[in-house]
Structure 1
Amino acid sequence: MTLIKSISGIRGTIGGDVGENLTPIDAVKFASAYGIWLKQQRNKKNYRVVVGRDARISGEMIQNLVMNTLVGLGIHVIDLGLSTTPTVEIAVPMEHADGGIILTASHNPKQWNALKLLNAKGEFLNGEEGAKILEIAESGSMSFSDVDSLGRISKNEAYIDIHIDEVLNLKLVNKEAIEAADFKVVVDGVNSTGGIAIPLLLDRLGVEAVKLYCEPTGHFPHNPEPLKEHLTDLSEAVVKERADFGIVVDPDVDRLAFMDEKGEMFGEEYTLVACADYVLSKTPGNTVSNMSSTRALRDITEKHGGTYEASAVGEVNVVELMKKNNAVIGGEGNGGIIYPDSHYGRDALVGVALFLSLLAEKQMKVSELRVSYPSYFMSKKKIELTPDLDVDAILKQMEAKYAHETLTTIDGVKIDFANSWVHLRKSNTEPIIRVYTEAPTQKEADELADKIIAEINSIS
């Protein structure tokens, strides 16, 4: 069991010892630190924070603890209830709130939960802001409001519908073409809030949705990370239903993957590639993804006359570079679409609408669309960390070993070979070293990953 504190928020497993897991005391402690930090940003009378959660089992407990902690600080809370990460992100500026908290551990299994923290723009905090909150939490110096100055909680459960309205109003979402295409789609909502939001969006677009695991019970029917090995039920359902394709999201609906009409993965990395292809064809410009994402985005961007840049891993890093380079679209290779015309956050609803627009206009099958893109294959493996493992020393040794290759060290170590690459980094969200590789074939990508892992094991 573990508690991880990073710019991605406060993430841990439910139960266990205080300070080592996400216990009620830890939830209150970090919610308090966040609320105090917010109040330090502006000297004003009323403070407002938007709070929403995914459907995981511990969500209601953690949300009640967090909301009432904020109330104790004199902060008013807008309770979205069951929601999605991008829904909370768009709600913050709409509510003229000072910040937002999403209770979700994203793709992690059901025993995990987290506090994901937003600023007044509805964007994730940067490293400096996150460090300040951790400093407040560890200081133990916290002062709460008296009885006449307590905050209050108001419910607003309309924001998923408002979010969908915002998506449908995007200029590049071709509602008419999508409706005319008469699509049939199977949706795997992993029994979380994607099972609410995605079918509602599809209905508004005139798409027939076959629901698979769309009851928001929090009992995930499979590992919630949207990878091929977890999605055999979706694959079978797409073929059985003779659907045009399948959609799967993670529990908080900021990651998106597709399955073609044959029940084969479109490729989580290619979610962003396809959406970028569509956006760039209408509004030429630049793109950004993180260092662990496919080279195919670079190829597509250059095809449309734009410039591609790679950031350190982490949504806040991608967003920062997108703003700097005026990127028209960006995101992460894990299926996270960031479209600034909507907002600066990964958003599966936006991704679905853009992908459907592309497919409707091209009038192609999903499998045909996939083979129209540059073909790269990725391996995503991990090395479990133990207390005696010195990750920094290992990465330094790997850097020295491959000093003759093209290296990037802004986030772990990325080694670029002529026709492949490997990225080694310590995860922000799990006690692991991530080992990502990409090559022209799956066999080469897997072999490169296994070779690197063997080299790490030999020196650790």
Structure 2
Amino acid sequence: MTLIKSISGIRGTIGGKPNENLTPIDTVKFAAAYGTWLKEYSNSDSLKVVVGRDARLSGEMIQNLVVSTLVGLGIDVIDLDLSTTPTVEIAVPLEKAHGGIILTASHNPKQWNALKLLNEKGEFLDAAQGAIILELAEKEDFHFSEVDDLGTITRNNAYIDIHIDEVLKLPLVNADTIKKAGFKVVVDGVNSTGGIAIPKLLETLGVEVIKLYCDPTGHFPHNPEPLKEHLGDICELVVKEKADFGIVVDPDVDRLAFICNDGEMFGEEYTLVACADYVLGKTKGNTVSNLSSSRALRDITIKHNGIYEAAAVGEVNVVKKMKATNAIIGGEGNGGIIYPSSHYGRDSLVGTALFLMLMAEKGGSVRELRDSYPSYFMSKKKIQLTPALDVDRILVSISESYKDNEVSTIDGVKIDFEESWVHLRKSNTEPIIRIYTEAKTQAEADSLAEKIISEIKVIAGI
């Protein structure tokens, strides 16, 4: 059982002992720390916070604890109940709220849950703000309100519909164009809130929807991370139904993956590539992804005469770099689309609409679209951390070994070779070292990853 505290929030497994797992006590303590920080940071006498959750089994319990804690601090709560991460992000500024909390452990299995924290813009907190909240939680220096000053709860379950309306308002989304294309799409909502939001969006756009695992029970029918090895059912159903393509999202709907019409993966790295291809074809500008994302985005950006830059891993880092470079689209290679014309957050509804527009205007099949993009292959490995592993020493040693190559140390170590790269970093959410590689063939990517893993083991003496 695990409890991970970081600047981006608190994440852990349900049950067990306080301070070792995400128990009710830890939930209340962290929610109180956020509320206390918000009262100091906002300098306002009347505070409002938006709260929403995915459909995982512990969600209602965690939601009740968080909402009650905020009310106890004198903070008014807009409770969206079942929602998505991007929906909460959109709701915060629309409600003129001072912040937001999303209750989700993203792609982690059902025993996990988490509190993700937003500022008044509906964006994730930065490192300095997150550090203050961690310190407040440690000190437990909270001051709760007296009975006449308790906060209020307003329940609003209309925000997924409002979110869809916001997507339809985007200048590069034309509902009539999509309707005329007559798409048929299979949706795997992993029995969470994507099973509500994505079919609703598609039906509004005139798309025929075949639902798979779209009942928001929280009983995930497969590992909820949208990777090829977990998605056999939808791959088969796309072919069986002769669908144009398939859509898969993670439990909180900020990661988006497509299945080609032939039942093969489009590739989660290429979700951003395709959406950027459409946006850059309409609007000249720059792009950003993180260091662990495919070079394909760089290639497409250059093709459209834009400038590509890489940020440290983590949505807040990508957003910061996007703002600094005036990027018109960006995100992460895990299927996260950030489109500032909507908001600065990964959004599978926005990504779905942009992809539908691309397909409607280009014509042809999704397989043909995928084959038209630069072909890269990735290997994603990991090494479990143990007390014996001095990760910083390992990273320094690897960096020194490859100093004659292009090396970045802004987030772990990334080494760029002429036709491949490797990125090593400590995970923010799991006790592991991630080793990502990319090359022109899968065999080359796998070989590079195994070579680096072998070198790490030699350095670590394991």
* TM-score of Structure 1 vs Structure 2, range by shorter chain: over 0.9
Amino acid of the residue matched to residue 392 of structure 1?
Answer: D
Residue equivalent to 2:262: 262
Residue equivalent to 1:155: 155
Per-residue deviation at 1:64? 0.4
Amino acid of the residue matched to residue 249 of structure 2?
Answer: V
Residue equivalent to 2:219: 219
Residue equivalent to 1:4: 4
Residue equivalent to 2:363: 363
Alpha-carbon distance between aligned partners in 2 of 1:7 and 1:273, rounded to the nearest angstrom: 29
Per-residue deviation at 1:152? 1.2
Residue equivalent to 1:423: 423
Alpha-carbon distance between aligned partners in 2 of 1:454 and 1:174, rounded to the nearest angstrom: 51
Structure 1 unpaired stretches of 5+: none
Q: Do the aligned residues in 1 keep the contact of 2:42 with 2:98 (CA within 8 Å)? A: no
Alignment of 1:46-445 (within 5 A): 46-445=46-445
Per-residue deviation at 1:43? 2.6
RMSD of aligned residue pairs (Cα, Å): 0.7
SS in 1 for 2:29: helix
SS in 1 for 2:383: strand
* Deviations 1:290-338 (CA, angstroms, capped at 9, x unpaired): 0000001011111111100000000000000101110000000000000
Per-residue deviation at 1:174? 2.3
Per-residue deviation at 1:340? 0.4
Alpha-carbon distance between aligned partners in 2 of 1:32 and 1:307, rounded to the nearest angstrom: 42
Amino acid of the residue matched to residue 216 of structure 1?
Answer: P
Alpha-carbon distance between aligned partners in 2 of 1:173 and 1:438, rounded to the nearest angstrom: 32
Alpha-carbon distance between aligned partners in 1 of 2:300 and 2:7, rounded to the nearest angstrom: 30
Amino acid of the residue matched to residue 74 of structure 1?
Answer: G
After TM superposition, the structure 1 stretch with the greater mean CA deviation from structure 2, 12-21 or 257-266, is 12-21
Per-residue deviation at 1:46? 0.9
Tell me the TM-score normalized by structure 2. Answer: 0.99
After TM superposition, the structure 1 stretch with the greater mean CA deviation from structure 2, 442-451 or 211-220, is 442-451
SS in 2 for 1:206: coil
Identical residues among aligned pairs (%):
76
Q: Do the aligned residues in 1 keep the contact of 2:22 with 2:113 (CA within 8 Å)? A: yes
Q: Do the aligned residues in 2 keep the contact of 1:8 with 1:314 (CA within 8 Å)? A: no
Per-residue deviation at 1:42? 2.6
Amino acid of the residue matched to residue 149 of structure 1?
Answer: D
* Deviations 1:339-395 (CA, angstroms, capped at 9, x unpaired): 000000000000000000000000020000001111111111111112322211111
Alpha-carbon distance between aligned partners in 2 of 1:82 and 1:197, rounded to the nearest angstrom: 10
Amino acid of the residue matched to residue 325 of structure 1?
Answer: T
Per-residue deviation at 1:139? 1.2
* Deviations 1:130-188 (CA, angstroms, capped at 9, x unpaired): 00100111112111111111111110000000000000111101212211111100000
Amino acid of the residue matched to residue 308 of structure 1?
Answer: Y
Alpha-carbon distance between aligned partners in 2 of 1:29 and 1:356, rounded to the nearest angstrom: 43
SS in 1 for 2:288: strand
SS in 1 for 2:444: helix
Q: Do the aligned residues in 2 keep the contact of 1:376 with 1:439 (CA within 8 Å)? A: yes
Q: Do the aligned residues in 1 keep the contact of 2:4 with 2:10 (CA within 8 Å)? A: yes
Per-residue deviation at 1:7? 2.7
Tell me the TM-score normalized by structure 1. Answer: 0.99
Q: Do the aligned residues in 1 keep the contact of 2:59 with 2:104 (CA within 8 Å)? A: yes
SS in 2 for 1:345: coil
